[in-house]
Structure 1
Amino acid sequence: MTEITPEQHLRERLSAHLEVLYPHLEKAALLEDIIALMALDQRCFMPEAHKNLWDESDTLVITYGDSILREGEWPLHTLHDFLRRELRGLISGVHILPFYPYSSDDGFSVINYVEVNPSLGDWKDINAIARDFDLMADLVINHCSSRSLWFENFKQRRDPGMDYFVEVDPETDLSEVIRPRTSPLLNEVQTLDGKRHVWCTFSHDQVDLNFQNPTVLLEFVKIIRYYLDMGVKIFRLDAVAFLWKIPGTTSLNLEQTHEVVRLVRSLIEHAIPEAIIITETNIPLRENLAYFGNANEAHLVYNFSLPPLLINTMVSGSCKALKTWMMGMPAAQDGTTYFNFIASHDGIGLRPAEGLLEDAEINQLVTLMQKSGGRVSWRALANGENRPYEINISLFDAMRRHLYSSNENDGEDGFQEQRFICAHALMLAVQGVPAFYIHSLLATENDENRVLHTSHNRSINRHQWVADDLESQLSTDSHHARIFNILKALITLRSTQAAFHPNAAQYPLHLGDKVFGIRRESHSTGAAIVAVYNISAEPQEILLSDLNLDESVSWQDILIDGADIRSQHSILLAPYDYRWLRRGDAVGVQN
């Protein structure tokens, strides 16, 4: 029997993808164009199914290219200097949020996909960072800027661009369309052929691309190849759930959208087997998990339900919803895992909490965040009502108040730092790859001045540090330095524990609503860790008998002194305290 070659394997997969996407088109030439544009006719690898491209040593930082500024220096150079000095050997990868020329939305309205924003630096700066860290970059695939060459050509009725956008008759019934904005879906545009109405899911400056035109697909194949050549290892498919539009449907998570993700996966893993796809799909849990496919779509999906549930846990003093959700979470099969985070450049998405938190709980959380300086972004429902879509607040200020503190202190109880650190210690222990937004790693506060300057709610958590000020804060006994050093120590410790492999088994424990517990166990080494967290403002005692620890082996408290705890009857946790207990006989675990 003749063994199939990598290129034959690729051709079979591409043929299947194209048949779903373009059933009525002649596909032979299109297939050849895709292979040539990806240079897969020159070099093509056979991907290994269900291979984990990560382990417990992987942690990412999420940042804008200009989150740290130094006068007279390109921001990407300043960022690279900070990463090398403070985080080399600690984090494995860095997600630089869109670093291309843009017209709005802090980068997500791309003018040119293959240029670096000249205010940040150039491709040499991106290449330098990619040599030191796994580089994650955005493939802003759903839409582009209204100031892009493509859209200018659309208005001038010439190529490339004339047929690149979704045009709809304004009389068309689009009431079923789901989107996270309250602005009109269609934007009227004057062209050389008269008025046209183009589809804009997010804003009128972000015009949705028409993937029903295969030429648009070819444009993105070229972009993907270019990013790979520039050192990108991890592709974040931004807003991909909205990609394919069919009037009369929700135009969300359509089968063709999933097929495009599968096609992109086929291309990158045949080009560079270590490359990774992560889908940014801020939607309810079941729909989000669908982007794993059968381990043939995203390698990682954003764990969007984790931020609102974990923040609600910390400020409410009850882990009931978090525990219930985690008990129902499917284990990620090998070759896939979760991308865990608590805060991002956007905000705390609330759609992924729907069905997991009661409406009253969500409203209570929104009100508390507003008391701590947070803003609320809204989405329009089909019935004309608006519903909270996202809370915009820095994570540090989100932990300022507790829901059930006395009215005398308006919810501020002095445990802000403890809540903040406990939340991250919990995130580090759950199944998946952890990621820290740079302003969470640095415990940055709300930036009210930036909101006033931009008039955008999301700017509240997009502070720009002056490098000298940041270095000064990190060299003193500021809350920034205290938290940064504790988080770095936790990341370092986690990276040595096989039980924290992103695909290690995960078992939530039943310790009441005020103590969250989880057991992680490595399939390959047998290493086990029991992690427990007091998520309340009162001390909590945990009986060792309730942890179901194997009594025949030692259990070491690796966060305190590494001593065996078997002689103890119980563990006393101060407010927002936590412990990582490691089974002493685990194979391959460092002692």
Structure 2
Amino acid sequence: MSLKNKVQLITYPDSMGGDLRTLNAILSEHFLDVFTGGVHILPPFPSSGDRGFAPLTYLEIEPRFGTWEDIRAIGEKFDILIDLMVNHISRQSLYFQDFLAKGRSSEYADLFLTLDKIWEDGVPIQEDIDKMFLRRPLPYSTFEAGGKQERVWTTFGKTDPSEQIDLDVCSTQTRQLLRTFFENFKRQNIKIVRLDAVGFVIKKLGTSCFFVEPDICEFLDEVKALADSLALELLPEVHAHYSTQFKLAERGFWIYDFILPYRILEAILTKNATELKRYLTIRPHKQFTMLDCHDGIPVKPDLDELINTELARKVVDICVQRGANLSLILSDEHKAEDGFDVHQIRCTYYSALGEDDDAYLASRAIQFFTPGIPQVYYTGLFAGVNDLNRVKETGEGREINRHNYTVEEINLALGEEVVQRLLKLIRFRNTYPAFDGEFQVLESPDSEIRLRWSKADKSCLLIVDLSSKHSVIQYIDKHGLLADYRI
């Protein structure tokens, strides 16, 4: 299939009304002409943690969300993007529970990375661990399995032992399991599969165990061949130095633009678009663009060597003053020389911009004019503010941008001027024909940005004045006349 160059929605299965059936009703009533690019439904599977990202299986839907029938019903109107946590599966999955009961005699034992697959005697060496890009203090967890102690690789997880057990992607058994999951997605009318945490799948001593080349590329090529055979699109999710993303783009993959959210934020907060404009001239076009998501605004390592850390600290400080919290880099080796260690800024994008409607609409306009497929996270759709109470209740910093909206809250949000302005902008992005044409970054003062699209007799020019935060689109209308659309 070919992806539609239209705006997509990102939402949890229960964040817009409580379940998939209500989500379908809301999408059908309010957003049929808005999210014509599709809907990314964050993991709707049975899960034991990390808000869906510790899945027990991909063959079932969590009953409190609904059924596969509900997914297929949404898929009749919208192309659906779904996540596959290719790096790991839940500790509570039948696969790992069988391993815990039977140990190495389990029929699923080879799915997992016991440490003897990494270190010959199964004893970890700290010198090797020090080189790794860690997401927790140690990359393994210890379990009692089949009556003996087993140490198993676990990249992620805040508990010890972790809820997220890494899969051994070099195992034939794991490859077959992934095939089973992909084939089920095809049957359920899924169109796009996002490979979550794919950068961590290769573990090799002497490396960072993150995006290990050429092994990772060989693995991705194999998965792409599988996806192609089922007419599914792939979207690898890799938070890494920008050059890593660019390598994936060179190999023909869709990639995420994890640089754009910070660059736009920096430009608006500092009223200077110099670095943003420079970036827009060098980035690959085959990207999914976003400003906000279920995690945070990426900083390191995505923008390593692209940002001035002194300026970055000022940007981060403004966000923190506005209620944000931070995810930090664990490994000293991956911190900046001056100690700057911000991995992600956790907040809503609307709050990061001081809940300023004009600034927020300017940021969305720049995103929509940037080449690629734009995604809008559901809290961004409703111009949501930081949910500090959820952070206090759960102790999870990312919950600041994960508010669950009731139907009543959605109806109220739809009445807000800022939301109606955003919906109008999305409709323009979806329907104006020049967005399938040629893109240009035009010369402009540092405090201004001018982005132009043109195709045949149609063209549209976005002008954002960062000093006033006002934005206007000059475009050729259906009568061939020059028109102004003040966002």
Q: Compute the TM-score of the two structures, normalised by the length of structure 2.
A: 0.90
Q: Give the unaligned 5+ runs of structure 2.
A: 116-121
**Does the 8 A contact of 1:317 with 1:537 survive in 2?**
no
Matches for 1:324-339 after TM superposition, within 5 Å: 324-330=278-284, 332=285, 337-339=286-288
Q: Tell me what 1:86 maps to.
A: 30
Query: Match for 2:245 among 288, 291, 300?
Result: 288
Q: Tell me what 1:435 maps to.
A: 375
Q: Tell me what 2:323 maps to.
A: 373
SS in structure 1 opposite 2:431? coil
Q: Tell me what 2:350 maps to.
A: 396
Offset at residue 270 of structure 1 (A): 2.2
**Which residue identity is paired with 1:532?**
I
Offset at residue 142 of structure 1 (A): 0.6
SS in structure 2 opposite 1:196? strand
**Does the 8 A contact of 2:79 with 2:191 survive in 1?**
yes
Percent identity between the aligned chains? 25
Q: What do the CA deviations read for 1:506-565 (whole angstroms, capped 9, x no partner)?
A: 22122121001122234xx4643322211224789x9xxxxxxxxxxxx74669x98537
Offset at residue 182 of structure 1 (A): 4.1
Offset at residue 116 of structure 1 (A): 0.4
Distance 1:104 1:55 in 2: 32
Offset at residue 365 of structure 1 (A): 1.4
Q: What do the CA deviations read for 1:369-405 (whole angstroms, capped 9, x no partner)?
A: 11000000112124496721111101110110xxxxx
Distance 1:383 1:235 in 2: 32
Residues 88, 307 of structure 1: CA spacing in aligned structure 2 closer, same or farther, 3 A cutoff?
same
SS in structure 2 opposite 1:436? strand
Matches for 1:91-490 after TM superposition, within 5 Å: 91-92=35-36, 93-156=38-101, 157=103, 158-168=105-115, 169-172=122-125, 173-179=128-134, 181-192=135-146, 194-203=148-157, 204-254=162-212, 255-272=214-231, 275-295=232-252, 298=253, 300-330=254-284, 332=285, 337-351=286-300, 352-383=302-333, 387-400=341-354, 416-475=356-415, 481-490=416-425
Q: Compute the TM-score of the two structures, normalised by the length of structure 1.
A: 0.74
Residues 199, 578 of structure 1: CA spacing in aligned structure 2 closer, same or farther, 3 A cutoff?
farther
**Does the 8 A contact of 1:516 with 1:533 survive in 2?**
yes
Q: Alignment RMSD, CA only?
A: 2.5
SS in structure 2 opposite 1:353? coil
Distance 1:102 1:457 in 2: 19
SS in structure 1 opposite 2:272? coil
SS in structure 1 opposite 2:329? strand
SS in structure 1 opposite 2:192? strand
**Does the 8 A contact of 2:113 with 2:153 survive in 1?**
yes
Q: What do the CA deviations read for 1:73-122 (whole angstroms, capped 9, x no partner)?
A: xx111111111111012212100000001111100011122110111111
Q: Tell me what 2:17 maps to.
A: 69
Q: Tell me what 1:532 maps to.
A: 463
Query: Match for 1:507 among 437, 440, 459?
Result: 440
**Which residue identity is paired with 2:374?**
P
**Does the 8 A contact of 1:188 with 1:197 survive in 2?**
yes
Distance 1:426 1:498 in 2: 17
Q: Give the unaligned 5+ runs of structure 1.
A: 1-51, 401-414, 476-480, 543-554, 566-570, 572-576, 580-591
Offset at residue 163 of structure 1 (A): 1.8
SS in structure 2 opposite 1:68? coil
Q: How many residues get paired?
A: 466
Residues 482, 213 of structure 1: CA spacing in aligned structure 2 closer, same or farther, 3 A cutoff?
same
SS in structure 1 opposite 2:129? coil
Offset at residue 417 of structure 1 (A): 0.8
Residues 117, 315 of structure 1: CA spacing in aligned structure 2 closer, same or farther, 3 A cutoff?
same
Distance 1:80 1:488 in 2: 18
